[in-house]
């Protein structure tokens, strides 16, 4: 440990001078806080392996489609599945964000690829009839459990929770427009969204107004 000869005191600091007399100190300086090794996880190798395997599988499927002239162009589905896997892993592993934001991002990428897959396979509307309301309902419930279990602060989840609830109202638009033939999943999602929106308004109304003003810069 460094020592000031003038003041005859030991100095524990990163500065090479005494905080009392400002004279240079002698000896080796020691850090004030203990060294904590950074938690660095290199996932680049995993992404490279998955990328190589995904491109290889897509290439093999494309070769089979072109050589055997199959009726179903399944290589496109394999490639889309590969893109979805890369996006899913990137959000869950590499992006260390608020868990509520992660849920919203996963919802977006999941619904997008499944709707795209539905459109490419004849547009049977199963993606908007079943997948969309089920995914949104699970997200609202999961976020509610995470929030009310005390794992997140009110300011950390309220904005994303409210945004997820508003997403849960999308099935109402689909029901009114007649795009879905089976309304039960959409109706359940709508009820869940309204319930938690009413719950927030009653128990977190003040915080919700504050969060909306902050988000909208009002």
Q: Are 164 and 103 in contact (CB under 8 A)?
A: yes
Same domain, 184 and 149: yes
Phi, psi angle pair for 35, to nearest 5°? -75, 130
- How many angstroms separate the CA atoms of 167 and 133, rounded? 10
* Domain carrying residue 82: 44-96
Phi, psi angle pair for 215, to nearest 5°? -70, -40
Buried b / exposed e along 47-77 (16+ C-beta atoms within 10 A): eeeeeeebeeebeebbeebeeeeeeeeebeb
Phi, psi angle pair for 43, to nearest 5°? -100, 10
38 lies in a domain?
no
How many C-beta neighbours within 10 Å does residue 90 have? 14
Same domain, 15 and 89: no
Nearest to 30 by CA among 53, 42, 13, 43: 13
Same domain, 101 and 88: no
Same domain, 114 and 171: yes
Same domain, 89 and 106: no
Q: Are 164 and 136 in contact (CB under 8 A)?
A: yes
Same domain, 109 and 159: yes
- List per-residue pLDDT tens for the chain, 218 residues long: 677 877 887 777 666 778 778 788 777 666 555 555 544 455 677 788 889 999 999 999 999 999 988 887 888 889 988 888 888 777 766 655 677 788 888 888 889 999 999 998 889 999 999 999 999 888 888 877 776 665 556 666 777 777 787 888 888 888 889 888 888 999 999 899 888 888 878 877 777 777 777 767 66
Count up the domains in the chain and report the number.
3
- Three-state secondary-structure class, residue 27: coil
Same domain, 108 and 202: yes
180 lies in a domain?
yes
pTM over 0.95: no
């Amino acid at each position: 440990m460094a020592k000031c000869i003038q003041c005859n005191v030991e100095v524990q600091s990163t500065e090479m001078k005494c905080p009392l007399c400002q004279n240079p100190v002698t000896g080796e300086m020691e850090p004030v806080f203990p060294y904590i090794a950074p938690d660095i996880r290199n996932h680049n190798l995993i992404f490279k392996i998955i990328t190589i395997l995904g491109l290889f599988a897509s290439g093999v499927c494309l070769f089979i489609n072109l050589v055997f002239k199959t009726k179903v162009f399944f290589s496109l589905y394999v490639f889309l599945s590969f893109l979805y896997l890369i996006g899913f892993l990137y959000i869950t592993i590499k992006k260390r964000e608020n868990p509520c934001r992660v849920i919203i991002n996963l919802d977006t990428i999941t619904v997008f690829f499944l709707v795209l897959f539905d459109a490419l396979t004849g547009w049977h509307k199963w993606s908007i009839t079943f997948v969309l309301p089920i995914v949104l309902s699970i997200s609202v419930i999961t976020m509610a459990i995470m929030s009310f279990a005390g794992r997140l602060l009110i300011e950390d989840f309220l904005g994303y929770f409210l945004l997820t609830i508003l997403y849960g109202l999308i099935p109402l638009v689909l029901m009114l427009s007649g795009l879905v033939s089976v309304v039960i999943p959409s109706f359940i999602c709508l009820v869940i969204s309204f319930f938690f929106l009413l719950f927030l308004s009653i128990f977190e109304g003040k915080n919700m107004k504050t969060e909306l003003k902050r988000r909208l810069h009002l």
